[in-house]
């Protein structure tokens, strides 16, 4: 199925999920490269991240221009307008102003979590694209956190915090006296959103702190070097190995919400890379174990 997905053929109820997964992890890997390069935030970076988000896993993409028309966010059930973003003609000016503010605020030493929270809100408020705004906003904020020294070796994710209570996420984002950008939202008090965002960051960091303490108590050493060699998908798969000595393709399917064929393709690539080994080559369900080099990353397991 992965070859068909790459050719952009459609499968009812399935194609959107797989394309989003393929695109998001490609963009996440690029975001980490940007963070490592420590280059100043730019509009071209944001546009490239969006292009990867929407490309379904293709890597050879060009930065996406901003939308050229009006978009409207509606309630999926009632179809009523939830939010009316600014007009397309204003988007380039607003995005330019956002990036200029980010650079100036970084130079002034504004704490990275606050900077990232404001950036997330303003990006979602401008809504510069027809689709993919939420994923791109989260990538932008993660990039800002990384640049501000809050990367924590790539082992935390605000996505989990949002996913636990999407209602709270959308409630925190719903600010202002009107659903119309031009009727007050651009001047609204966003303290509640920033509080929500920083609480999510704090919760994620606390999770990492507890893991570090558990690993230290078990006699673990600093394994940041091998951890940084893993891509975002591999680091997430480590969570499976924290619970199971061996995994199968169905575990990867469920973790990433993808097809069996794509899961098997990933597993085969990881065997070639030396991340995992074939632990049981049974004909019905092949099992995989974590390579010995990376087992210390599991802490006391």
Residue 155's pLDDT is 56
Q: Which of 169, 191, 217 is the last residue of a domain?
A: 217
Q: What CA–CA distance (Å, rounded) separates 101 from 115?
A: 10
Give the pair of three-digit tokens for residue 105. 């605020």
Low-confidence ranges of the chain (pLDDT < 70): 1-16, 152-157, 175-178, 211-212, 215-225, 282-284, 299-301
Residue 58's pLDDT is 79
Q: Are 250 and 184 in the same domain?
A: no
- CATH code: domain of residue 128: 1.10.3290.10
Q: What CA–CA distance (Å, rounded) separates 158 from 97?
A: 25
DSSP tag of 129: S
Q: Are 210 and 269 in the same domain?
A: no
Q: Are 24 and 147 in the same domain?
A: yes
Q: Which of 192, 217, 242 is the last residue of a domain?
A: 217
Residue 297's pLDDT is 79
Angle at 252 between CA 205 and CA 36, to 5 degrees: 45
Q: Are 117 and 255 in the same domain?
A: no
Q: Are 124 and 191 in the same domain?
A: yes
Q: Are 213 and 251 in the same domain?
A: no
What is the phi/psi pair of residue 176, to 5°?
Answer: 110, 165
Decide: helix, strand or coil at residue 84: strand
Q: Are 23 and 93 in the same domain?
A: yes
Q: What CA–CA distance (Å, rounded) separates 142 from 158?
A: 8
Residue 149's pLDDT is 87
- CATH code: domain of residue 235: 1.10.10.10
Residue 153's pLDDT is 59
118 to each of 62, 163, 191, 194, how far by Cα in Å?
27, 20, 9, 7
Give the pair of three-digit tokens for residue 89. 């003609």
Residue 178's pLDDT is 67
Burial status of residue 109 (CB atoms within 10 A of its CB: 0-12, 13-18, 19 or more): exposed
pTM over 0.85: no
Instruction: List pLDDT tens digits, range 125-146.
Output: 999 999 999 899 999 999 999 9
Q: State whether the Cα torsion 280-281-285-287 is positive or negative.
A: positive
Give the pair of three-digit tokens for residue 185. 């939202």
Q: What CA–CA distance (Å, rounded) separates 73 from 75?
A: 7
Q: Are 232 and 205 in the same domain?
A: no
Q: Are 92 and 241 in the same domain?
A: no
Q: Are 213 and 230 in the same domain?
A: no
The domain in which residue 40 lies consists of 2-217
Q: How many domains does the chain have?
A: 2
Q: What CA–CA distance (Å, rounded) separates 30 from 49?
A: 7
Q: Tell me the sheet residues that pair with 84.
A: 180
Q: Which of 199, 217, 235 is the last residue of a domain?
A: 217
Q: Are 270 and 192 in the same domain?
A: no
Q: Are 149 and 171 in the same domain?
A: yes
Residue pair 239/225 in contact by the 8 Å Cβ criterion: no
Residue pair 279/39 in contact by the 8 Å Cβ criterion: no
Give the pair of three-digit tokens for residue 35. 């963070």
Residue 300's pLDDT is 56
Residue 294's pLDDT is 87
Residue 172's pLDDT is 76
Residue 287's pLDDT is 92
Residue 231's pLDDT is 85
Residue 50's pLDDT is 97
Residue 203's pLDDT is 83
């Amino acid at each position: 199925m992965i070859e068909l997905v790459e050719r952009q053929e459609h499968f009812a109820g399935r194609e959107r999920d797989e394309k989003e997964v393929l695109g998001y992890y490609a963009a996440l890997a690029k975001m980490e490269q940007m963070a490592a390069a420590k280059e100043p935030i730019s509009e071209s970076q944001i546009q490239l991240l969006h292009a990867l988000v929407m490309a379904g896993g293709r890597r050879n993409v060009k930065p996406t221009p901003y939308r050229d028309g009006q978009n409207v966010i509606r309630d999926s059930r009632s179809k009523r307008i939830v939010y009316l973003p600014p007009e397309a003609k204003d988007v380039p000016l607003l995005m330019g102003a956002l990036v200029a503010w980010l650079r100036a605020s970084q130079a002034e030493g504004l704490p990275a979590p606050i900077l990232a929270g404001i950036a997330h809100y303003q990006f979602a408020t401008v809504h510069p694209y027809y689709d993919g705004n939420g994923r791109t906003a989260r990538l932008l904020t993660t990039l800002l956190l990384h640049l501000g020294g809050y990367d924590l070796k790539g082992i935390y994710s605000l996505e989990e915090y949002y996913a636990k209570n999407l209602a709270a996420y959308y409630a925190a984002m719903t600010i202002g006296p009107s659903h119309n950008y031009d009727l007050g939202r651009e001047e609204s008090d966003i303290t509640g959103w920033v509080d929500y965002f920083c609480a999510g960051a704090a919760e994620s960091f606390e999770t990492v702190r507890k893991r570090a303490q558990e690993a230290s108590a078990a006699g673990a050493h600093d394994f940041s070097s091998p951890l940084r060699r893993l891509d975002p998908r591999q680091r997430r798969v480590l969570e499976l190995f924290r619970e199971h000595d061996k995994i199968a393709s169905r575990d990867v399917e469920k973790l990433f919400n993808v097809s069996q064929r794509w899961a098997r393709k990933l597993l085969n690539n990881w065997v070639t890379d030396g991340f995992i080994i074939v632990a049981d080559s049974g004909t019905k369900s092949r099992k995989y174990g974590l390579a010995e080099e990376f087992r210390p990353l599991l802490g006391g397991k």
